[in-house]
């Protein structure tokens, strides 16, 4: 295969990987990239982003942001969340790309570590539901949207993306 064809295949594979904000893994866990292409940013409408999502035990939630300007804190309760009291968080995330496992049912509260950003809406409650038993329902409710970054080796492509990659590879290898 020529270098040009190999480059086209590599670009096609990269495009598939970079366009999915929600990916179903082998064990049915879903990776949610908060805020899609804008990430965790004051200009994002993270409330709208999270309103249509179903978060389940075992899923992962990813926060991508500029570590120089933002952070993510997990708050203890709804009162701290509502008032944007970020002074005593359960945990603070500051790496700019943070993966958080959603373990156990219930509500977890995430907010910007910057009080002003939090007060302007950079916060989300995450209601974690039990693991879904029916895989077909999970795939049917999955929302796929453009995302800024996607976890690399820890996530798996869903079936359709996998077929697309295989199909593209076969097409380019056959040329």
Indicate if the pLDDT at residue 143 is higher than 80: no
Select from 3, 47, 39 the least CA-distant residue to 148: 39
Range of the structural domain that residue 41 is part of: 31-129
**What does the pLDDT average to over 17-41?**
70
In a domain, 115, yes or no: yes
Strand 106-112: give its sheet, edge to edge. Answer: 55-56, 123-129, 106-112, 72-75, 91-93
Please list the residues that pair with 112 across neighbouring strands. Answer: 72
CATH of the domain at 80: 2.60.40.420
What is the structure's pLDDT at 28?
A: 72
Give whole-number Cα distances, 96 to 41, 70, 145, in Å: 11, 8, 20
Please indicate, yes or no, if residue 47 is contained in any of the structural domains: yes
Q: Examine residue 162 and state whether it is found in any structural domain, yes or no.
A: no
What is the arithmetic mean of pLDDT over 57-71? 96
Number of domains in the chain: 1
- Of 72, 70, 130, which Cα lies nearest the Cα of 102? 130
Q: How does pLDDT run across 68-114, given as a tens digit for each residue?
A: 999 999 999 999 999 999 999 999 999 999 999 999 999 999 999 99
* pLDDT for the residue 145: 47
Q: Is the pLDDT of residue 122 over 50?
A: yes
- In degrees, to the nearest 5, what angle opens at C-alpha 120 toward C-alphas 129 and 98? 50
Residue 132 binned pLDDT confidence (cut-offs 50, 70, 90) = confident
In a domain, 59, yes or no: yes
How far is residue 48's CA from residue 104's CA, in Å, rounded to a whole number?
Answer: 24
Q: Indicate whether 21 belongs to any domain.
A: no
The answer to whether residue 161 sits within a structural domain is no
Q: What is the pLDDT of residue 6?
A: 36
Q: Tell me how far apart the alpha carbons of residues 50 and 128 are, in angstroms, rounded to a whole number.
A: 12
Sheet holding 60-64, edge to edge: 22-24, 30-33, 60-64, 97-101
Is position 1 within any domain? no
Does residue 26 fall inside a structural domain? no
């Amino acid at each position: 295969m020529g270098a040009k064809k190999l480059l086209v295949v590599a670009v096609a594979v990269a495009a598939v990987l970079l366009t999915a904000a929600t990916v179903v893994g082998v064990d049915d866990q879903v990776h949610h990239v908060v805020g899609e292409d804008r990430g965790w940013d004051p200009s994002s409408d993270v409330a709208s982003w999270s309103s249509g999502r179903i978060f389940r035990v075992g899923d992962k939630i990813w926060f991508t942001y500029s570590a120089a300007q933002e952070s993510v804190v997990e708050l203890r309760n709804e009162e701290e969340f509502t008032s944007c009291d970020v002074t005593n968080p359960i945990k603070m995330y500051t790496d700019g790309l943070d993966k958080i496992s959603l373990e156990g049912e219930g509500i977890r509260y995430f907010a910007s570590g910057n009080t002003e950003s939090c007060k302007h809406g950079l916060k989300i409650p995450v209601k974690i539901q039990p693991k879904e038993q029916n895989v077909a329902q999970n795939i049917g409710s999955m929302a796929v949207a453009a995302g800024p970054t996607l976890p690399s080796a820890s996530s798996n492509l869903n079936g359709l993306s996998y077929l697309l990659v295989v199909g593209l590879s076969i097409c380019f290898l056959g040329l």
